[in-house]
Amino acid sequence: MTTNNNFHSLFEHLETTSSIRGALFRLQSKFGELHGCDLAYEYMMKDTSFVRGDLVSMTTLSRRFTDLYFPGGGPNSDPVLEHVTADSDPFRVSLRKLCAGKQTKFYGNKFYTALLENGCENFTSFPFKDDMGIGFGVFTIFATSDFLDQKVKDEYYRELALNFHKCMKSGGQLARYFNILDREHHALSKMADGKTAADIAQDLDVTPRSIELRLQSVRKKLQARTTTEAVYKAVAYSILP
């Protein structure tokens, strides 16, 4: 098992990847215990009166499975997102039991049924808190029964999950997930500095309407109702410092 002292060198390899999915695949290949396992990374904002909660979700699973996945609601909803909080213990699920439980709403869940048919017997989700306290995340390992037969050290995998999240922030992968263009980033950063759309337009010699359209695009990408909320989320996702 990789020791905690080796986390730093392990995650140095991940910071050079261009995307969250690429980082998950690299972790899968570099981290011996995860060979043969699929991985998922999810990060959720807390839903408040000021901020609309949303979800960043990426996995090594193929489209065959992800096309069947629905985070919330309906027969294909995710039991992890319904039951796990930042303070939860690791959430372990036997897919065979989950899919066989006719009395539960997850009976017939297409996503988990497809995983089971593909040889995945179980998954374990490790919650973690974001350092800023704005949201929390879940790092999930989809595995064969052999994985749970190991004596998994919960704190060890919690630390791995948190370090992966920190790496996605510091390496810029979390920011790139939202595909914010340079001109949109510039407009949002200037708004964060206290400038108005008219100020930014004058500095760039463009119309205020052009700046408003850039900010509108940023709000849509970040699922923000206001520019203030967009700035708040951009800081949380390390899009802005």
Q: Does the domain at residues 182-236 carry the CATH identifier 1.10.10.10?
A: yes
Return the minimum-mean-pLDDT range out of 111-120, 130-139, 211-220.
130-139
Give residue-wise pLDDT tens across range 194-210: 999 999 999 999 999 99
Count each helix (H run) and each strand (E run) in the chain, helices first. 13, 5
CATH level 3 topology of 4-176 = Beta-Lactamase (3.30.450)
| CA-closest candidate to residue 167, choices 1, 37, 4, 9 | 9
- DSSP β-bridge partners for residue 138: 42, 127
Whether the per-residue pLDDT at 1 is higher than 50: the answer is: no
What is the distance between the alpha carbons of residues 124 and 149, in angstroms, rounded to a whole number?
12
What confidence score (pLDDT) does residue 49 get?
A: 53
Tokens 């760039």 appear where?
Answer: 204
Instruction: Compute CA distances 143 → 56, 70, 174, whole Å.
Output: 22, 20, 25
Average pLDDT in the 147-163 region? 73
| CA-closest candidate to residue 197, choices 185, 189, 209 | 209
Give residue-wise pLDDT tens across range 64-110: 888 877 554 444 445 555 556 666 778 887 888 777 766 566 666 78
Instruction: Compute CA distances 90 → 5, 151, 152, 157, 178, whole Å.
Output: 22, 13, 10, 9, 28
What is the distance between the alpha carbons of residues 104 and 151, in angstroms, rounded to a whole number?
29
CA dihedral 166, 174, 16, 36 (to 10 degrees): 80
What is the distance between the alpha carbons of residues 69 and 64, in angstroms, rounded to a whole number?
10
Whether the per-residue pLDDT at 141 is higher than 50: the answer is: yes
What confidence score (pLDDT) does residue 178 get?
A: 92
The residue ranges of every structural domain in the chain are 4-176, 182-236
Average pLDDT in the 156-160 region? 85
What confidence score (pLDDT) does residue 73 get?
A: 45
What confidence score (pLDDT) does residue 19 get?
A: 93
